[in-house]
Structures are given as C-alpha cells and as structure tokens.
Structure 1
C-alpha cells in the first residue's frame, strides 16, 4: 500500500497577515514506524526545496491526536502527498500556497 501524508497550513501566512515571516506547514504521517517517519522526512525535504520560506512541523496521526495540534493552531488541510505522485502533489501544494500569497516570489 502506498504511503501518504497530509499537509496542513497554519500561522500568520494562512491567517492573512500582511508580511508573514514564513509559511508554517504541518505534515501528518500515518504511523510512528521508521518507514512512515522516513517518508514524512522525504516529503519535508521536497517541500523545502520548492517552498524556501516553509517552516515545517511533522507529527504522526497519534501524536497529532494527543496534542490536538490542528484544532489548537487552526490548521487547514492544503494537500496530500502520495508516494506514487510525490512531485506532482508537492507542486499542487505549492500552487495552492502561491494562490494565497500576495507576493509569489516570497515562496
């Protein structure tokens, strides 16, 4: 079965701040296993290579539930990165973020 992660946006950029310092993203991966963590790290590197101002937090689904991070931060889902379509999925997420940005060069 192909792995996937869900990417959420939160923080000042997604709240519409005029001049956010960075773009806060959360990657939620399925399990706490080595394979799931490694896949999430790979996704993090791909995102950072295309969205230079990204500040990325990673949590497993279990950790996120324990912390209630999504609820507390007001994070909104912005995309899913699947193992079989990683590059396309990251490009789609970048496009979603770019569509929210007043300054596309800030990405």
Structure 2
C-alpha cells in the first residue's frame, strides 16, 4: 500500500460523498441556503457515483485484486466520515473542501 494511492482514494471518495451529500435537499440547503434544482441534484448524484466507481478503479489498478477492494472500502469509510463531520459542524465548508480534494486526487493519481 503506497501512501499516494491511499491519498488519491481518500480524496476521490471524499469528493464523491460530498457530491452525493450536496445532491440532497437538506444538505444542499444547509450549504448554499437554497434547494438544488432537479438537474443540479441529478448531476451531483451522477458525479458522486462516478467518483465512487473511479475510486474503485484506481485502487484495483494500483493495488491489484488482492488488496485493492479492501483499500477502496477503507477509503470510502474515511471519506464518508469526513463528509459527515463537515455536514454536521461546518456545512458551508463541504463545497470548498470537495473542490480542493479533486485536484489533490488528480495530482496523487498522476504521481502514482
């Protein structure tokens, strides 16, 4: 397990769960003070699921089928924990944190 793969997976899973979180009316209203349109909610939901699938692909390609799914599940747990903490205590920070996590994941993935 390399730290860069773990960083890429954690950042991708955080961004994916942040998108899924912001696709819900309640959390979107807490972060933006307005409910999302149907189109925005669908786009965020699609981006969230695509991020989860991409996170799985990165972990399996980097670590193989023996350890990749295990690392994927661990990074999903860590990313979800971070999103839950931000949604509970600082909901307005979810969007900037997710936008910061995406380039971090890309840089870590390209260094791998």
TM-score w.r.t. structure 2 length? 0.35
Structure showing greater Rg: 2
Comparing both chains, which one has the higher relative contact order based on Cα–Cα distances under 8 Å and sequence gaps of 6 or more? 2
TM-score, normalised via structure 1 length: 0.36
Q: Which has the higher strand share?
A: 1
